[in-house]
Amino acid sequence: MTKLCQALEAAKGGKQAGKKGFSCKKTTYPVAGSNITVDSWRFQDWDYKRDDLPTYARGLFTTKRSDNKHEIVIRGYDKFFNVDEVTSTRWSQIEANTVGPYELSVKENGCIIFISGLEDGTLLVCSKHSTGARQDTEQSHAMVGERWVRTHLEAVGKTTRDLAQALRDANLTAVAELCDDEFEEHVLEYPPDRAGLYLHGLNYNLPEFVTMSGPQVHAFADEWGFKKADFISIDSIDQVKSFLEKCAETGSWEGRDTEGFVVRCKIRGRKNQDAGPDWFFKFKFEEPYLMYRQWREATKAIIAGREPKFRKHKKITEEYLLFARRRLAKDRNLGKLYNQNHGIIKMRDDFLAEKGQNGADIIRQEQKEGAGDVEDVSNIVLVPIATIGCGKTTIATALVRLFDFGHIQNDNIQGQKGRPQRFASQVVSELATHKVVIADRNNHQKRERKQIISDVQRIIPEARFVALHYVHEPKSKLLDQIRKVTQERVLERGDNHQTIQAGSKGRRETIGIMEGFLNRFQGCDTTSDPDDSFDLVINLDVTASSLDNLDTVITKLYNTYPKLFDKEMPTRGDMQDAIDFALNSQVTVKHELSFGKENRGAEKRPPTPAQLVKKLAYFSISVPKSEIEQALADVFADSSAEEARMYNQLRQSRRIQAQFHVTLIHRASISSHQHVWESYVNAFMQALGSGNLADKAAPTPVLGLARVKLERVVWDDRIMAFVVRVLPTESGELWPSANAITHVTVGTASPDVKPKESNELLARWEAGQEGRAKTWEKQPRTRNRVVNDENAEAVTAASTRLTRAKATILESGSQVSAVAKKPLQARKAATSTLNGPQRRKALGDVTNAAKGAEVVQDAKKAAGAKAGVAAKSQPVGGVQKLTRTNSSRAALGVKDSNTKPKPAEIKKPASGSGALSKKRTQTTSSSTAAASLNEEATPEAEQPPRKKSITEHLVRESKTDEEEYDCMAVLDAEDLGDPSMCAEYVREIFEYYHELEKTTMPNPNYMEHQDDLEWKMRGILVDWLIEVHIRFRLLPETLFLAVNIIDRFLSAKIVPLDKLQLVGITAMFIASKYEEVLPPHVGNFVHVADDGFTVDEVLRAERYTLSTLKYDLSYPNPMNFLRRISKADKYDIQTRTIGKYLMEISLVDHRFLEYRQSHVAAASMYLARLILDRGEWSSTLCQFSGYTEEEIMPVFELLVDYLRAPVAHEALFKKYASKKFLKASILTRKWAKDYCSSLPDDLSLEEVKEYQ
């Protein structure tokens, strides 16, 4: 028993060593009414076909006794398979390897329940993998099962204690089938008089599988009041086969419908007839149950408004659906109940009663009329769904070798034009001479599968499609092993491929191509278009051998289309020969993916600035897409249907521009505006400077910043445009426009309408003339909006929507774009204001912005910023941040103002005592002096009495005891003149935040109760949400709140894997509505999730999430703590930026969940200062953060551990690798590498702590 538990623990949460490892999931459950907890152990379904698992029990629960020894408390059957499902269940193998008697138990149609007794006398009732209540449903299977146990026991005058003791004394698990239509319907009917627990097994709680015989099970059922699963005992295997085939003709036994039988026997012992271990297999009847399932799925399709798809039993299914439509039309509530799996059997039975037949009668009638089977077994297209290196062509070539299937390889089709259509055309042509054709290409995206299916069906409507689905999902579990195996295969074959010639391309380029396919892979989903068109989906293991996958494909095809094969089926040796032939085949066609085009530009010299100028098409101001989209949403939010018709048409037809810009002057206007063109050309030439013109990745030169006001939107039935005004910048510079009316084109009704028609539309509008269609206009609603630049943090818009956008060059010719492509943008467009920069309210702003525009301009002059066009080496990037004029701290824009005496080189964090005491004294003097200067500058009689008394009180307190100097009071006193900083009660605010942290922390171990999820999946989700956050340009607070919502929700609810992304986008949607002034529309969130969910699903999820959290979103955002600490750090922009990166690490790494956000913020600032060599963790920083250096160490160590490991979260790393964020991710990882260079590479985090 100990050995088994050790093996299970070793397999928990990861792969075993070797090419094809396995993983085991452990989940711990409390037992109601007991202090005992039990552990559920679960392998993946596909792993049960292996021969090296520590156990094959499906339904295994263990615990530790009071003597601290492991014991099995629930033991299910060993996994058993259907006849012909695996090699061991082929009739020839069963006959050779088993001995009778054979007990055939009726396969009851319900869900399995396990019952046993615990050490303390508690009765344990479990479903296959859980026990007790579940948070994702009102009634779990285990709860309903326990209720039925009590009902059965009461009928015979016994108690749960009695049953628990009896089972424990015998060391048994009772195995029963829960059949109750009032709880959950299946295929067969169990009305109230037949509902209950059908006992069909008594297993010993041992590592090996040992079970009692049928008569013993029946005797136990009689004694304890359970229902009995009927069985029959047969001596020989030939009699078993005869009996099963006869029952299969009617799908019933002794007048009772059944899905089949479970056959219990024993493995043949060494002496031929000796009985060995217990062994099970099953025989499921295909009909009429496949027909019943087809009716059920077709009914659900029409309830959902989809066209039902079916190929077998066409005539009777069409009759049934006509009957079902009438019933659903008569009772609208019936559809809702049907989707909840209620009323399915009644609908079917009412139809059969109307027909006067049962299911078996219908099947016999179809067989007699020849209508039951699919009419033809030709025109079958095998569609691989794979990525590079999966072995699809090897399987295809082997199938051709064995069965003479048709085979069309996409890689053999040369030329780019119409390639997908020519591929489909060749598949169609091949079907003329072959029953089966393999459409050999990756088909890894749904659009590719849709194209091949629709193009083939257009010519051959009756064609059928079979998916050869190489399973890649869940990617978080499978992708690492798939990468390893496929890369080995592709690199080993070298140049023996039509397009991916690894030998010539080199390892790096080849792997880069393969990664693209893996990232784009979309698994087969038969519930949605186009994958619902597949007749059959054959799931294949990418990491398995080609021989195993070929065997799987042939077996599945044979079972589904037995008439397809008119020759003797191949042996295992034949299959191996076919694989060897395929692997030794040499390709005869080779071509580059560029289809023979020359590598343009490889030998060309970089263009000169003069050459670039000749190719310029126009100068423009780029405007953020989100600004335009939000403005449009505001304009048409309350419009009539007629007014919004054009807007809706543009959205639905995707005719809204992908990018927006204000054209300042076009090349066509040079003759009439020569001076304007020349001024822009001169600025362009100056901005080009000494840049590398041959570097295509070099940024497009930024000419400067502009302010754009969206005034009104004008449209007719052909085109829509915003009338805009280009305002002077704060430094007074102007960007003249050659257009009569400056505008932004929103979109055109069709490709035939050119954007330049905006000029004609606006000319008519200004003149008050009507064209052939009505001209509309509407003004954006006025609203105050906070617009965020993440690294500049708190700029506000004025009373109308304004955008600070870059005046950049946009080229039109492909040759020009080859020199300077779209990435030529040194910075993101920042958003500016009319009234000067403002601060975030109440929470200790970090902008250091001056109170008046004059100070900003003075600072620009002092920093050497050039008014007008930006210098080539330093484009204007936004309002420079300054300290307040009444503060002793210098502006952040001047590097020397923040310098400190550098301590000796720090390799490890010091204690913060001793050597730093002198520095602390200096800081104290400086701060006190600053406060004194403030008092002297304002005469006592002129100060507002309230603020004066507070100031004096704070400073007086700070001077009372030099040892307990209150630096917070002095620094906060500086903000008393600014009501937005709430200096009078900022301490109380943060005291409240620290208390609030306790109530909004998620359960750091919530993954233990998640059946389908793992911590790695959470990290992947958050990393993707960071991409979404960047795309929507949301506030940092929004991201932190979204992740907190996710963690708190997952702490409370069990979520299946396919709904995890829905939880993520819903949390981001809620957080954006809470934090943003203008949050993105719900449709935008649906779109970024690849339309995997509907708007209604997101809105329902929003309501469910908020109700789960009890509408409590009062989350103390860590950005508030970071800003508070940054005040004590003199608002150092570099330190704070690195601190923000380190804080976001805590979002993707679940190990930080156990720490408060204030703790993480303090550790982030501590590590940021250490990296930048900003000195020790002073008493001022201790007071503002609330944490000493010693308290910070555990979080500090986690951060260092994350940084020293390989990059695991790409989106986060790339975000902070940009110049905008001072390349924080690169800098911190380099520091971590140096910091840990003296430590052995293989040390764990715990060992690192000991080493230090």
Confidence band, pLDDT 50/70/90 cuts, at residue 688: confident
What's the confidence (pLDDT) of residue 692?
55
Last residue of a domain, one of 528, 551, 584: 584
- 252 lies in the same domain as 387: no
Q: Residue 627 is encoded by which pair of tokens?
A: 């600004």
- 754 lies in the same domain as 797: yes
DSSP characters for 41-92?
EEE-GGGGG-S--S--BSSEEEEE-TTS-EEEEEE-PBP--BTTTSGGGSHH
- 335 lies in the same domain as 263: no
- Residue 1150 sits in a domain whose CATH number is 1.10.472.10
Q: Which residue, chain included where needed, has tokens 């000493």?
A: 1188
- Of 384-388, 584-588, 1150-1154, the poorest mean pLDDT is in 584-588
CA angle 1013, 1017, 1018 (to 5 degrees): 95
Specify if 211 maps to a domain: no
- Of 227-236, 363-372, 570-579, 843-852, the poorest mean pLDDT is in 843-852
- The long-range contacts involving 1002-1008, CB below 8 angstroms and separated by at least 24 positions, are 1002/1044, 1002/1047, 1002/1048, 1002/1050, 1002/1051, 1002/1153, 1003/1051, 1003/1153, 1004/1150, 1004/1153, 1004/1154, 1006/1047, 1006/1050, 1006/1051, 1007/1050, 1007/1150, 1008/27, 1008/28
For residue 415, the one-letter residue type is G
Q: Name the strand (E) or helix (H) holding 470.
A: strand 464-471
Strongest mean pLDDT among 410-419, 422-431, 783-792: 422-431
The number of CA neighbours under 13 Å toward the Cβ of 138 is 2
- 434 lies in the same domain as 569: yes
- Residue 397 sits in a domain whose CATH number is 3.40.50.300
- 365 lies in the same domain as 413: no
- 699 lies in the same domain as 656: yes
Confidence band, pLDDT 50/70/90 cuts, at residue 505: low
Q: What integer is the mean pLDDT of 1166-1182? A: 87
Task: Return d(Cα 1199, Cα 424) in angstroms, integer.
Answer: 53
Specify if 438 maps to a domain: yes
What positions carry a catalytic annotation? Answer: 107
Number of helices and strands (H, E) in the chain? 43, 29
- 1165 lies in the same domain as 1232: yes
Span 196-232, pLDDT tens digits: 999 999 999 999 999 999 999 999 999 999 999 888 9
- Of 308-317, 971-980, 1218-1227, the poorest mean pLDDT is in 971-980
DSSP characters for 537-596?
EEEEETTS-HHHHHHHHHHHHHHH-GGG--SPPPPHHHHHHHHHHHHH--------TTTT
Confidence band, pLDDT 50/70/90 cuts, at residue 700: low
- 276 lies in the same domain as 336: no
More confident residue, 52 or 495: 52
Confidence band, pLDDT 50/70/90 cuts, at residue 528: confident
In whole numbers, what is the pLDDT of the chain averaged over residues?
76
Last residue of a domain, one of 347, 369, 391: 369
Q: What integer is the mean pLDDT of 164-179? A: 94
- 785 lies in the same domain as 641: yes
Span 18-27, pLDDT tens digits: 434 566 888 8
Specify if 188 maps to a domain: no
Name the nearest CA neighbour of 1231 among 880, 864, 904, 906.
Answer: 906
What's the confidence (pLDDT) of residue 949?
36
Q: What integer is the mean pLDDT of 138-149? A: 90
Confidence band, pLDDT 50/70/90 cuts, at residue 963: very low
Domain that includes residue 349, residue range: 303-369
Confidence band, pLDDT 50/70/90 cuts, at residue 1220: confident
Span 457-502, pLDDT tens digits: 988 888 889 999 999 888 877 888 898 898 888 877 655 554 554 4
- 475 lies in the same domain as 406: yes
What's the confidence (pLDDT) of residue 417?
78
Task: Return d(Cα 526, Cα 537) in angstroms, integer.
Answer: 8
Span 338-350, pLDDT tens digits: 877 778 888 888 8
Contact (CB, 8 A) for 187 and 293: yes
- Of 398-407, 810-819, 1044-1053, the poorest mean pLDDT is in 810-819
CA angle 148, 152, 154 (to 5 degrees): 115
Residue-level length of the chain? 1252
More confident residue, 81 or 827: 81
For the chain, the maximum distance between any two Cα atoms, rounded to a whole number of angstroms, is: 112
Task: Return d(Cα 1045, Cα 1067) in angstroms, integer.
Answer: 6
More confident residue, 500 or 1025: 1025
What's the confidence (pLDDT) of residue 748?
92
Task: Return d(Cα 388, Cα 488) in angstroms, integer.
Answer: 11
What's the confidence (pLDDT) of residue 376?
57
DSSP characters for 675-738?
HHHHHHHHHHHHHHTT--TT-TTSPPPEEEEEEEEEEEEEE-SSEEEEEEEEEPPTT------S
Task: Return d(Cα 320, Cα 564) in angstroms, integer.
Answer: 29
Specify if 700 maps to a domain: yes
Name the nearest CA neighbour of 188 among 257, 248, 253, 283.
Answer: 257
Task: Return d(Cα 1182, Cα 1162) in angstroms, integer.
Answer: 9
For residue 180, the one-letter residue type is D
What's the confidence (pLDDT) of residue 772?
72
- Residue 773 sits in a domain whose CATH number is 3.90.1740
CB contact set of 417 (below 8 Å; sequence gap of 6+): none
Q: Is the dihedral angle over the CA atoms 84, 88, 91, 93 positive or is it negative?
A: positive
Is the pLDDT at 898 greater than 60? The verdict is no
Specify if 23 maps to a domain: no
Last residue of a domain, one of 797, 819, 841: 819
- 237 lies in the same domain as 341: no
- 721 lies in the same domain as 778: yes
Task: Return d(Cα 170, Cα 104) in angstroms, integer.
Answer: 25
What's the confidence (pLDDT) of residue 113?
94
Confidence band, pLDDT 50/70/90 cuts, at residue 158: very high
Q: Which residue, chain included where needed, has tokens 């991916």?
A: 500
The SS3 of residue 442 is coil
Contact (CB, 8 A) for 54 and 29: no
Contact (CB, 8 A) for 234 and 101: yes
Residues 66-77 as b/e (b if ≥16 CB within 10 A, e otherwise) read: eeeebbbbbbbb
Burial (CB < 10 A; 0-12, 13-18, 19+), residue 684, is buried
Is the pLDDT at 857 greater than 60? The verdict is no
What's the confidence (pLDDT) of residue 866?
31
Q: Which residue, chain included where needed, has tokens 């204000």?
A: 662
Confidence band, pLDDT 50/70/90 cuts, at residue 612: confident
Starting at the earlier edge strand, list the strands of the sheet with 464-471: 406-409, 436-440, 380-385, 464-471, 534-541
Specify if 892 maps to a domain: no
Strongest mean pLDDT among 292-296, 568-572, 915-919: 292-296
What's the confidence (pLDDT) of residue 814?
25
Contact (CB, 8 A) for 1210 and 1216: no
Is the pLDDT at 324 greater than 50? The verdict is yes
Span 710-728, pLDDT tens digits: 889 999 989 999 999 888 8
Specify if 836 maps to a domain: no
- Of 360-369, 711-720, 1207-1216, the poorest mean pLDDT is in 360-369
The number of CA neighbours under 13 Å toward the Cβ of 1188 is 5
Q: What integer is the mean pLDDT of 998-1019? A: 89
Residue 230 φ/ψ, nearest 5 degrees: -65, 150
- Of 40-49, 304-313, 563-572, 817-826, the poorest mean pLDDT is in 817-826
Q: Residue 188 is encoded by which pair of tokens?
A: 């067969």
Specify if 251 maps to a domain: yes
Strongest mean pLDDT among 151-160, 746-755, 823-832: 151-160
Number of domains in the chain: 7
What's the confidence (pLDDT) of residue 966?
61
Confidence band, pLDDT 50/70/90 cuts, at residue 251: confident
Is the pLDDT at 908 greater than 60? The verdict is no
More confident residue, 136 or 369: 369
Q: How far is CA 565 from CA 130, 428, 588, 1002, 1214, in A?
A: 44, 21, 30, 58, 54
